[in-house]
Amino acid sequence: AAYHGCVLFADDAGDDAIERGSATKLETFLGPDDGIYRPPFQAFDSTHIWEDSALFRSVYCVYQIRRLANSLYCSEMVASNAIAHERADALSSLQDDVSSLEDSRDFDPSYLLRFLGQGRRSEGASVLQLGGSDPIQMELAAKTVSEFNRMHVKQRDGGEHICHPINCDYTALNLNCGCPSPKVAGKGCFGAALMQEPDLVRKLTSALHRGSDGTMPVTVKCRIGTDEGYQFTKEAYESRSEEDEYQNLKRFVETVASDGIVTRFDVHARIAVLNKNYSPADNRKVPPLRYHHVYRLAEEFPELSIHLNGGIDSLSGAKKQLEECGALSGVMVGRAFCSSPWNFAMSDEVLYGDKHSRMSRPRNRIEVLEAFGEHADNEEEIYDPVKTRRFMCKAVAHLFAGEMNAKRFRIALDEIAGLPKKHLRQLQQNPNARPQSQPPKISELILDAATKHLSEDALYRSPEESYEMLLSEELHAERKARLL
């Protein structure tokens, strides 16, 4: 199977988590193929950020994405300064005077892998999203990714031995110009704040291009603008000129794309409110969506790949947007995938007309759980279940969203997630106690919980049947809304 070049965005923790100092976003892209991202399909693990535990939060959630759709995946935002600083520390620890990490075989990459690592297996078509406002640090971050990519390939092909395995195989780089978090766009002066400095954005993307030696496509994630120059209220916003707003967005895109490096923009069709104490959640809901700006952008810049983001919460919604504007290259779906992943199991066929995908796609959700259980069992043989179990359970927690007794299934998963810690506490309290018999594998526990709490219809319903049910429910909701 080949990866499709559109956007599906699964967000596990989201922008709100940035406020807490830890974030894990999973983004993949659904839409017409743009010819850039089509490597061979591979099973994979995922990335992590900020702390080791976050690795397992995204690893298992992204595994589920690949079980359901062949789409491009984009990582959470990683701060370029963090990579640049860890790179400097790694180089300074080496005895040899080297400027490239590839020149040494004995450095410890573990600190850098906290930001760049992708688990034991290749993630396939994936984009690393970077945040920052310093071109030098951005170039060093891109250089590090490029070096790690090459070292990963050499290790994989058996041509190079390094003390520590390096699993890093990114397809492209993305500059975040859309995050409205006060810690990012406020104190950090990057994210959505960069919408106000297109010349700086061009320098940053040029730095990414130089750092990767031009070997990786550079893309930009942005909004349609910000509240620069006025105090945002709904009334004040509605009274402002939409044409002026679009022209500002157009100038931003023209400036960033002027040197030919960036040809792809993922555009959230809302402004970012930066001059008020808005949370990321407020910035996803309060500013109104203006899809027509993104449509117009795609139509006026046919040489660019424009992807629409914001407010798309279903597969039929994604299809509708692509049909509404044929110039769009794809759509980006956010929390909808994470909250109801099964609802997107037909994406390959619905969005791409890929009838061959059904040969590799799970026939029902019990097959998803069986495959995931086998994967989870293998992971627990390598990693400590005390640290990883809860993240693995979280990856399948929303697989049955909307089904009868789905909440009971989630409660059962929560109990399964806590078992390793419970057993560890019992052992610490009574270290001389005789060890219990071998506990059940996580795969057995998950399948038992599913068959106990969920109906056969929910477990064995096919993706086609589930999608038809969703369409029927959406049609009923539309008719009901008209009557009201």
Q: How many domains does the chain have?
A: 2
**pLDDT tens string 100-128:** 887 776 777 878 887 887 766 556 678 89
Q: Is residue 338 part of a domain?
A: yes
**pLDDT tens string 294-310:** 999 999 999 999 999 99
Indicate the residue among 331, 359, 387 that finishes a domain.
Answer: 359
Q: Is residue 17 part of a domain?
A: no
**Which among 266, 117, 141 has a CA at the least distance from the CA of 207?**
141
Cβ burial 160-188 (10 Å sphere, 16+ → b, else e): eebeeebbbbbbbbbbbbbbbbbebbeeb
Q: Is residue 34 part of a domain?
A: no
The mean pLDDT values, 10 residues at a time, for the chain of 484 residues are 43 35 40 35 24 43 72 83 90 76 76 77 77 96 92 77 74 93 81 95 98 94 94 94 97 97 95 89 93 98 94 90 92 81 88 73 93 90 88 91 96 96 89 77 97 97 95 92 87
Q: Is residue 476 part of a domain?
A: no
**Residue showing tokens 């990582």:** 75
Per the DSSP assignment, residues forming a β-bridge with 223 are 268
Its pTM stands at 0.84
Q: Is residue 480 part of a domain?
A: no
Q: Is residue 199 part of a domain?
A: yes
Amino acid in position 21: G
Per the DSSP assignment, residues forming a β-bridge with 145 are none
**pLDDT tens string 263-272:** 999 999 999 9
Are 419 and 381 found together in one domain? yes
Are 377 and 319 found together in one domain? no
Are 385 and 335 found together in one domain? no
Are 453 and 397 found together in one domain? yes
Catalytic-labelled residue, pool 6, 61, 168, 179: 179
**Which among 349, 344, 311, 309 has a CA at the least distance from the CA of 329?**
309
Are 323 and 413 found together in one domain? no
Are 378 and 354 found together in one domain? no
**Which among 85, 81, 78 has a CA at the least distance from the CA of 46?**
78
Are 220 and 342 found together in one domain? yes
Indicate the residue among 359, 393, 408 that finishes a domain.
Answer: 359
Q: Which two tokens stand for residue 1?
A: 């199977």
Rounded CA gap, 373 and 377, in Å? 6
Are 340 and 372 found together in one domain? no
Per the structure, the complete domain to which residue 402 belongs is given by: 365-461
pLDDT at residue 335, rounded to an integer? 77
Are 221 and 323 found together in one domain? yes
pLDDT at residue 105, rounded to an integer? 67
Are 214 and 341 found together in one domain? yes
Q: Which two tokens stand for residue 331?
A: 């759509």
pLDDT at residue 16, rounded to an integer? 36
Q: Is residue 184 part of a domain?
A: yes
CATH of the domain at 60: 3.20.20.70
Q: Which two tokens stand for residue 267?
A: 């555009």
3-state secondary structure 390-455: HHHHHHHCCCCCCCCCHHHHHHHHHHHHHHHHHHHHHHHHCCCCCCCCCCCCHHHHHHHHHHHHCC
Could you confirm whether 179 is annotated as catalytic? yes
Are 353 and 286 found together in one domain? yes
Indicate the residue among 343, 359, 375 that finishes a domain.
Answer: 359
Are 338 and 422 found together in one domain? no
Q: Is residue 54 part of a domain?
A: yes
Rounded CA gap, 37 and 45, in Å? 18
